Amino acid sequence: MWFGGFDIPDMSPELLEHCKTLTDTGFAEDKAIIQAVHRNIVRDSRHQNYPEIIAQTDQAAIQARRKLSAQLARERTGENTAILVQPDTKLA
């Protein structure tokens, strides 16, 4: 649970409980949204073969996913798995 790492000295028990409630609520909302998206993907006849729509705020996660996919593909084929990425390199 994320909240287990929340450590602020001298926080009142009431404020700590309020923060925990807000955190639980936020994660529950995220979970509901993710589950709804998953249900829509499963119901769509294209499943995961639908066109990708990229929002600017998703760029970091998309780049990480693409790099991981490429790395896993290289490992499956036995290619050299070393990756060198220079700072400020735009990843495809």
pLDDT tens digits for range 41-77: 889 888 778 777 778 888 888 889 899 999 999 888 8
Dihedral angle over CA of 86, 87, 89, 92, nearest 10: 80
State yes or no: pLDDT of 1 exceeds 50. Answer: no
DSSP string, 68-88: HHHHHHHHHHT--------TT
Q: Are 74 and 80 in contact (CB under 8 A)?
A: yes
Q: Where are the domains of the chain?
A: 11-49
Q: pTM value?
A: 0.45
